[in-house]
Structure 1
Amino acid sequence: MDELIPIVKEINEAEYELNAMLLPYYQQIMEHELSVKQSLILEVVYKQKQATVREIADQMKVSSSAVSQIISKLDKAKYVKREINPSNRREILVSLGEKGEDYFAQMQQVEQDIIERYYTKLTMEEVMQLKHITLKLKGIVEQELAGQN
């Protein structure tokens, strides 16, 4: 355990420095000035294409009223669109708006640029090792967190 701590600290420091070096790539996206919660809501809507306020709240583990307030701001800024669910008129369906589509188009371009510029300098075996270790660590964290509930 004692030998693990400095190694993990070194990994965390390298990851922090890596993110700091890549920050210029993300500047165009950061100009959107979205809060973390707004970004998370957009991510849920982007992945699902369309989601109800309740579904978003459940995924984020927050109240529907908190999500509704954030969605209202995102709607005014054209990041999302809201419409009444024709199947259940009490539900509001949320999908990406014009600025939301633009936000994710920019994210994909940044990701593509980073892959082309940096990840292509790794071997496929190294990329697969990185993927394997990252997914394994994610699974461990998910299991541990699920055990806490």
Structure 2
Amino acid sequence: MAQIDQEYRQPAPGRNSLLEALTQVLVVELSRLCAYAGRTAKRYGPRQSDKGRQHLEHYQALIEAHYREQPSIEQLAEQIGVSSAHLNLLCRQLAGRSALQLLHERLLLEAKRQLTYTNMTIGQVSDSLGFSEPAYFTRFF
């Protein structure tokens, strides 16, 4: 900054070129500082994101354990100890998808697995995944 100030106050040949170059250097240095501060804040910042990750991991474990029952997001959020809105927000922030999308993705994965690697009929797969009728499962799939 001092060099920019000095160059600005004492015009000399090539002043504009030097001011542009010094400004670019300043921008690069500031972006590096911001990037470093961002990494440091992630590393040493509040533990809220750690708690959020724990909630997301707990939610994913609950999905794995209960996806065949097709529980509601409210039921799963209650088991974690958060509201369904908060759980949905965490899922969107940390996983990039809603809580319901994560549950549906697990159901679809299992449906694909069963349809591909077993001799089960669509009706049997539908029943095993907790759908009330094969037609609903087919629309879902």
State TM-score, norm by structure 2: 0.30
Select the structure that is richer in helix.
Answer: 2
Asked which structure has the greater CA Rg, the reply is: 2
Q: Which has the higher strand share?
A: 1
So what's the TM-score if we normalise by structure 1?
Answer: 0.29
Higher relative contact order (CA 8 A, sep 6+): 1
